[in-house]
Chain A
Amino acid sequence: MTAVAPDGFAAGPTGTGETAGTDGEATGTDGGATGAGGGANGGDGGEAGVGGGETGADGNESYRLNVDGFLRTVNGARLGDSLLTVLRDTLGVTAVKDACEQGRCGACSVLLDGRLAASCTVLAADADGTRVVTVAGLGGAGLARAVRAMFLAEGAVQCGFCTPGFVVAVTDLLTRHPDADEEEIREALAGNICRCTGYGRILAAVRAVQAERSLLRSGDAHSSGQTQRPPDGGPDGG
């Protein structure tokens, strides 16, 4: 069976490279930029008005989130809740970890329309209409598989609490910069904190992924490597 909806899977990594600049526009489908209140997205998710007059002080309107390719309806969350809170407490998505809740540790990292973000700094209701991809939605093949395998092979996982965030961040990095050097890797992962490994094993894992991937695309030069990259999206072969 297919463990992961191919849809959501492709949405993540491929979106990063090619559409990052325009994604924002793509999501603004409701044209409600000046307060039309566009109901098309479900709830009152248009441009604004979170917690408008028709809801109580706690504001419990429902809205929908595209999480790992599945459209999930959110009921009963407070409209001030972060995406992290809604994913874990309302939707039961535990692939994002809750640690600092201040945007500092990266344990709750997700891809939002292909862009790496800390879900604790994102208002859940404002993510209506975007594609949210957690580590569970990265899929079981291609780059994301290689990242997970190398984290295990290189001992980059100890207590494991930071690992989901790291896997998302590393997948994002290697999608954008397959050949990142050590300084670029360190810089790109600065938003993810690991208290166990001292980062050496994590760096080694990233290097191992790069080595494996460059073997895969050896022969043809750079250009073909970049055009071939996306089909991370295939269904889980099992």
Chain B
Amino acid sequence: MLAAAHDSGAAVALLGGGTDLVPALRSGERVAGVVVALRRVLELRVRGAGADSLTIGAGATYTDLAGWSLSPGLARAARVVGSVQIRNTGTVGGALGSARPAGDLLTFLTAADAEVLTASPRGLDRQPLPRFLADGLAPDALVTAVRLARPGGPQVYLKIGDRQAAYPAVVSCAVLVDRVRHRLTCAIGGVGLLPARMGDAERYARDEVDWSTGTVSPTAARRFGDLVVEAAARITPALPAGPRGSAEYRWHAAGVLAGRAFARCLHVTAPPAGVPGGPAGDSAVGGQP
């Protein structure tokens, strides 16, 4: 069907939840000769769990994810997207298809080493999320699902921005800990055109965390945040500065969020005597930004 529509030469738009596409059609920002509505394709709404991976159909909504106990980190990330209205309709496939630079789900999925499953007349395919985002979806292909590893430890997603219900995050950060493989991954959204992994900070965490207990020293969160600021400043291509804040502001915000998320994922050992308060205060910062 999709291929036929594509072959007809018309401009084809895939409709997931509609939260991006329908307003864009109304405003004329997008024009489509054919809209392929996917909501009724039940196969796309399936969520499944394998021995060590989770598969989420592209038609799953944020509300579907928000109640999913198999991935509590992803569930919490989904709960802070948009409003009830948006979460009830917006889908995983839509988040991938629209690929907004600060898309909440993209940041989380980037940290989770997610794979994107697609279907096209050439058959089924899967590719790592960064490559999918860089190459874009082929015009005759369809995102069927996204696959990620089962959580292996604490996962924290934080973001900062304007009124959450109405606007995407300005800067977002996901930190995922895998206690089994002694690994911590961190992705930052809203600084580059696509979410970026923070390699240096991840390597620092790998070496710094006491993996037998899951603890870190009180100064580690600050150092982790500093490494993220440095890495954020190197991200290319960068998002142009604009109403979303200056580049410097977003680097700084990335560091603050990363330090906070890091501290929430790991137990901070007691600060050394004579350092009242200390950076452990970071972990006491309560609410969502």
- A-side residues, CB < 8 A to B, are 24-25, 27-28, 30, 32-35, 46-53, 57, 79-82, 85, 101-106, 109, 112, 115-118, 120-123, 125-126, 129, 169, 172-173, 188, 190-193
Measured in the bound complex, the distance between the Cα atoms of B171 and A100 in whole Å is: 24
| Nearest A residue (CB) for B23 | A102
In the assembled complex, which residues on chain B have CB atoms less than 8 Å from the CB atom of A81? 26
In the assembled complex, which residues on chain B have CB atoms less than 8 Å from the CB atom of A57? 33
In the assembled complex, which residues on chain B have CB atoms less than 8 Å from the CB atom of A123? 15, 18, 21-22, 25, 35, 37
In the complex the two chains form, is A33's CB within 8 Å of B35's CB? no
Say if the beta carbon of B43 comes within 8 Å of chain A: yes
Residue in contact with B89 in the complex, picked from A35, A122, A173, CB distance below 8 Å = A122
Query: CB within 8 Å of A: which of B31-51?
Result: 32-43, 45
Measured in the bound complex, the distance between the Cα atoms of B212 and A85 in whole Å is: 59
A55 to chain B, nearest CB (A): 10
Residue in contact with B37 in the complex, picked from A125, A172, A192, CB distance below 8 Å = A125
A80 to chain B, nearest CB (A): 5
Measured in the bound complex, the distance between the Cα atoms of B163 and A81 in whole Å is: 27
Whether A116 contacts B88 in the complex (CB less than 8 A), given A49-B36, A82-B22, A123-B15, comes out as yes
Measured in the bound complex, the distance between the Cα atoms of B165 and A192 in whole Å is: 9
Residue in contact with A33 in the complex, picked from B10, B32, B34, B42, CB distance below 8 Å = B42
In the complex the two chains form, is B39's CB within 8 Å of A24's CB? yes
In the complex the two chains form, is A120's CB within 8 Å of B23's CB? yes
Residue in contact with A49 in the complex, picked from B18, B34, B41, CB distance below 8 Å = B34
In the complex the two chains form, is A121's CB within 8 Å of B18's CB? yes
In the complex the two chains form, is A101's CB within 8 Å of B42's CB? no
Residue in contact with B1 in the complex, picked from A24, A34, A173, CB distance below 8 Å = A34
Which residue among B27, B34, B164 has the maximum number of chain A CB atoms within 10 Å of its CB?
Answer: B34
In the complex the two chains form, is B88's CB within 8 Å of A33's CB? no
In the assembled complex, which residues on chain B have CB atoms less than 8 Å from the CB atom of A121? 17-19, 22-23, 85-86, 89
| Nearest A residue (CB) for B19 | A121
In the assembled complex, which residues on chain B have CB atoms less than 8 Å from the CB atom of A33? 40-43
In the complex the two chains form, is A28's CB within 8 Å of B42's CB? yes
In the complex the two chains form, is A190's CB within 8 Å of B34's CB? no
Whether A51 contacts B19 in the complex (CB less than 8 A), given A35-B1, A109-B85, comes out as no
In the assembled complex, which residues on chain B have CB atoms less than 8 Å from the CB atom of A109? 85
4 tightest Cβ-Cβ pairs between the two chains A and B: A191-B83, A35-B1, A190-B165, A104-B166
Which residue among A28, A32, A51, A81 has the maximum number of chain B CB atoms within 10 Å of its CB?
Answer: A51
| Nearest B residue (CB) for A172 | B84
In the assembled complex, which residues on chain A have CB atoms less than 8 Å from the CB atom of B269? none
In the complex the two chains form, is B43's CB within 8 Å of A51's CB? no
- Excluding A80-B35, A115-B89, 17 further A-B contacts by CB distance (< 8 Å) are A24-B39, A48-B37, A49-B36, A50-B35, A52-B34, A53-B8, A80-B32, A85-B26, A103-B85, A106-B83, A121-B85, A126-B37, A169-B85, A173-B84, A191-B82, A191-B84, A191-B165
Provide 24 A-B residue pairs closer than 8 Å at the C-beta atoms, listed in order of the A residue: A24-B39, A25-B42, A27-B40, A33-B40, A33-B43, A46-B40, A47-B37, A47-B38, A48-B2, A49-B5, A51-B35, A81-B26, A82-B18, A85-B26, A101-B23, A103-B23, A115-B88, A121-B22, A123-B25, A125-B37, A126-B18, A191-B82, A191-B84, A191-B165
